[in-house]
């Protein structure tokens, strides 16, 4: 092992699906370590913007791809050639009590968070299996482990995601494919702006972590870079918590509704 390069990703082709917010930071971080990037997003402009950031370090392409369109995603995957690293960040949430959920809201959250992951793995993993190597990394959440009012359906999808990844790790490991999750805590992104705009709610979330603050999007990048390459060559079926100690100290807050 050359320890001076163990975190480098030179010569690897990384595909990131979901390139806004945290995804954009991950794209740039992987590129900075030498990976060639393909940025996929349901919003083609978002994918192009992420690829532009990556191109400062390494070659990068972009395309529109919707994880809910299984056939379309498979077509995109087939046209990309060999893929060494697949990172999945696409997810959604509807914050409300379970009994207030509509059937459409339930299907939307479960569909993107679970079926989307299933579709993506089905599109990209067979190529990795055929070559005998690859790393699949999906963003889960602290909600896979701990929940609060209004997060029930989202938490169920993230817990289900982790179990799906563990099963894939068991099934694909003999073929040299590693599968892991990165579980963020509360992160400063546009999707959490509503929470941070409520001073009590935002402060409560900050105080529930051991570090007493929210994460910045770029603080998720190191975990993904680690899992992508040789530094994590014997790591699979794991969930790496990047939560500022939230789950260690059992943080909880009952948010306002309405």
191 confidence band (pLDDT: 50, 70, 90): confident
Q: Is residue 102 part of a domain?
A: yes
Distance of CA 50 to the CA centre of its chain: 15
pLDDT at 257: 65
- What mean pLDDT is predicted for residues 15-27? 97
Q: 24 vs 51, 115, 129, 194, CA distance in Å? A: 8, 22, 27, 20
Q: Is residue 4 part of a domain?
A: no
Q: Is residue 125 part of a domain?
A: yes
> Residue 154 catalytic?
yes
| Average pLDDT of the chain to the nearest whole number | 94
Distance of CA 70 to the CA centre of its chain: 18
Q: Is residue 2 part of a domain?
A: no
Phi, psi angles (nearest 5°) of residue 201: -65, -50
Structurally, the chain folds into a number of domains equal to 1
Question: Strand, helix or coil at 192?
Answer: helix
Task: Write out the two tokens for 221.
Answer: 């990048």
Q: Is residue 184 part of a domain?
A: yes
**65-90 tens-digit pLDDT:** 999 999 999 999 999 999 999 999 99
Q: Is residue 56 part of a domain?
A: yes
Q: 35: domain CATH number? A: 3.40.50.720
**219-254 tens-digit pLDDT:** 999 999 999 999 999 999 999 999 999 998 875 666
- Active-site residue identified among 3, 101, 154, 226: 154
The least confident of 55-69, 158-172, 194-208 is: 194-208
Q: Is residue 54 part of a domain?
A: yes
Q: Which domain holds residue 104?
A: 13-188+218-236
Q: Is residue 207 part of a domain?
A: no
Query: Looking at the whole model, is its pTM more than 0.85?
Result: yes
């Amino acid at each position: 092992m050359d320890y001076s390069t163990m975190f480098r990703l030179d010569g690897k082709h990384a595909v990131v699906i979901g390139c806004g917010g945290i995804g954009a930071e991950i794209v740039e971080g992987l590129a900075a370590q030498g990976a060639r990037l393909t940025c996929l997003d349901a919003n083609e402009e978002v994918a192009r913007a992420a690829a532009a950031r990556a191109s400062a370090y390494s070659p990068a392409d972009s395309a529109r791809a919707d994880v809910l369109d299984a056939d379309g995603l498979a077509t995109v995957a087939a046209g990309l050639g060999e893929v060494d690293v697949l990172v999945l960040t696409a997810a959604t949430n509807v914050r409300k009590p379970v009994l207030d959920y509509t059937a459409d809201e339930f299907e939307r959250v479960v569909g993107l968070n679970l079926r989307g992951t299933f579709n993506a793995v089905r599109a990209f993993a067979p190529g990795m299996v055929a070559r005998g190597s690859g790393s699949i990394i999906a963003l889960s959440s602290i909600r896979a482990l701990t929940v609060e009012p209004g997060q029930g359906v989202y938490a169920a999808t993230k817990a289900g995601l982790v179990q799906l990844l563990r099963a894939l790790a068991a099934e694909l490991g003999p073929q040299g494919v590693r599968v892991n999750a990165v579980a963020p805590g509360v992160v400063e992104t546009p999707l959490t702006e509503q929470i941070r705009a409520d001073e009590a709610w935002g402060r409560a979330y900050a105080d529930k972590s051991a570090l007493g603050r929210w994460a910045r999007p770029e603080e998720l990048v190191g975990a993904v870079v680690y899992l992508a390459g040789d530094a994590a060559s014997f790591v699979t079926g794991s969930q790496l918590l990047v939560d500022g100690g939230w789950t260690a100290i059992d943080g909880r807050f009952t948010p306002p509704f309405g």
